[in-house]
Structure 1
Amino acid sequence: MSSPPILDHNSNIYLTVTTSASPYGLPNAHPSLIYVGPVGSLPDVHILSVPKSAWTSNQSEILSRLSGMEGVANVEVQGAPRARVKRGDEL
């Protein structure tokens, strides 16, 4: 089993794309997209990254191109992970 990719939320925006077909055309939807890999062992959900500088000027174009691709069922923008609060001894 391979380790999950290391994501840099300070430099990139990450998108998850659910497909019903082969993902090989996804990075070609826009020049700023970079294929990161599948989400865990899910064969139909993939992570793509976009540099934040490219995202601010091309967000709507990237989302519309991905959403309009044949075989793409869903596109979601992922937020940065939030830190979990450790429960104290008071519980």
Structure 2
Amino acid sequence: MDARDKKKLTKNFVRLVAETPVETIADHLRQSGILTDELWEDIVYQNTEKNKVRQLLRTIIRRGPKAFHNFVDALLFNDCEELVELLQCN
């Protein structure tokens, strides 16, 4: 993931944690190959929804150049257009 995309995620971290439907996004990223089964488990077995999103964001930052775009695609697929706009504008 390039520095601009990392900055977009970190700048909007609080809102993403509050509004991301983490399990459906994690499932989408798992199916697209961004998350391995082990990484997916690390996310979905967190004790709260907010911790799940935090773990998801920390993980995708380290998952290579396609991770950000796959995350945005997963948000679009899950009708999270406001979050996509937030990430595209910042």
TM range (shorter): 0.3 to 0.5
**TM-score, reference length from structure 1:** 0.36
More strand by share: 1
Q: Which has the higher helix share?
A: 2
Larger Rg: 1
State the TM-score, normalized to the length of structure 2.
Answer: 0.36
